[in-house]
Amino acid sequence: MAQQLAGKVAYVTGAASGIGKAIADLYAQEGAKVVIADLKQEAANAAAQDIESKGGTAMGVAVDVTQEAQVDASVEAAARAFGGIDILVSNAGIQIVKPVQDFSLGEWQKMLAIQLDGAFLTTRACIKHMYAQGRGGSIIYTGSVHSKEASRLKAPYVTAKHGLEGLAKVVAKEGGPQGVRANVICPGYVRTPLVDKQIPEQARELGISEEEVIKNVMLKETVDGEFTTLDDVARVALFFAAFPTNALTGQSMVVSHGWFMQ
């Protein structure tokens, strides 16, 4: 079968680890040139080298998605190196868990900055290239089941993930005439460093064991008690990126083993 992203350039944030890395890997297998955008140059390079060692094309760029100048410069460098930008996956994210009354303003602002400022800044930088190139584009935000649903201890995360749905809908409307689509992937729990870190934290905050956090908090509402996998999420990201028309835009897709059904 022909590669689904042949000739495309994808800029993926948070791509040195977890979900972003899995998406970048699959995009490269499908023929895209992939920009691994992450905080540390070394980690970004390692992920890019991993792709290159399997025959793909990738480059690592160091960027903090909350920093306007860094985002603009890294997108320019990537577009210059690879001949434009066709796909943005705005994926970088962190998690801080605690009750709402215990969040400092700084923690709240940090969470919103990474999720929302990062999504805005990368969208702005990439969409200019998509418009100028005149060949459309696909913008994908990594939302979460928490774009739809709330959980205890996650006030800024849930707020920001809901916000991404609003941004995607506006970008879908504005980008439509130029063939630029915007969609949100909403994964359930996936075993990445982001989740592994919060299992003991949630156990402490809720006064239950780590096994109970997994069974009774994270996977309780799924249809089969299973974690969502990196591959599950990457496949949805490929579907959004490769979709050929404006019919699929302004949407969100939940991939969560039935935890949330819409």
Active site residues: 157
By CB under 6 A, is residue 195 in contact with ligand NAD?
Answer: yes
The H or E element spanning position 42 is helix 41-53
Tell how far CA 41 is from the center of its chain: 19
Query: Of the ranges 16-24, 79-87, 129-137, 201-209, which one interacts with ligand NAD (CB under 6 A)?
Result: 16-24
Q: What residues from 123 to 152 belong to the interface with ligand NAD (CB under 6 A)?
A: 142, 144
Q: Packing angle between helix 18-29 and helix 230-242, nearest 10 degrees?
A: 50
By CB under 6 A, is residue 103 in contact with ligand NAD?
Answer: no
Query: Of the ranges 3-11, 186-194, 236-244, 247-255, which one interacts with ligand NAD (CB under 6 A)?
Result: 186-194
In terms of Cβ atoms closer than 10 Å to its own Cβ (0-12, 13-18, 19+), residue 39 is middle
By CB under 6 A, is residue 92 in contact with ligand NAD?
Answer: yes
The one-letter amino acid code at 132 reads A
Q: Name the β-bridge partners of 89.
A: 12, 140
Pick the closest to residue 251 from 151, 120, 148, 108 (CA basis): 148
Nearer to ligand NAD (CB atom), residue 82 or residue 141: 141
Q: What residues from 51 to 70 belong to the interface with ligand NAD (CB under 6 A)?
A: 63-66
The answer to whether 149 and 193 are in contact (CB under 8 A) is: no
By CB under 6 A, is residue 252 in contact with ligand NAD?
Answer: no
CB of 186 to ligand NAD, least distance (A): 7
In a 13 Å sphere around the CA of 93, the CA atoms on its Cβ side amount to 26
The answer to whether 156 and 107 are in contact (CB under 8 A) is: yes
Nearer to ligand NAD (CB atom), residue 175 or residue 187: 187
Q: Name the β-bridge partners of 253.
A: 185
By CB under 6 A, is residue 190 in contact with ligand NAD?
Answer: yes
The answer to whether 181 and 243 are in contact (CB under 8 A) is: yes
Residues in the interface with ligand NAD (CB under 6 A) total 27
Query: Of the ranges 50-58, 119-127, 191-199, 208-216, which one interacts with ligand NAD (CB under 6 A)?
Result: 191-199
187 φ, ψ (degrees, to nearest 5): -80, 150
User: In the structure encoding, which two tokens stand for residue 204, read together?
Assistant: 């402490």
User: In the structure encoding, which two tokens stand for residue 53, read together?
Assistant: 């060692």
Query: Of the ranges 169-177, 192-200, 203-211, 245-253, which one interacts with ligand NAD (CB under 6 A)?
Result: 192-200
CB of 20 to ligand NAD, least distance (A): 6
The answer to whether 90 and 122 are in contact (CB under 8 A) is: yes
Among 82, 189, 240, 259, binds ligand NAD (CB under 6 A): 189
By CB under 6 A, is residue 13 in contact with ligand NAD?
Answer: yes
Q: What residues from 19 to 38 belong to the interface with ligand NAD (CB under 6 A)?
A: 19-20, 38
Binding footprint of ligand NAD on the chain (CB under 6 A): 13-14, 16-20, 38-39, 63-66, 91-94, 114, 142, 144, 187, 189-190, 192-195
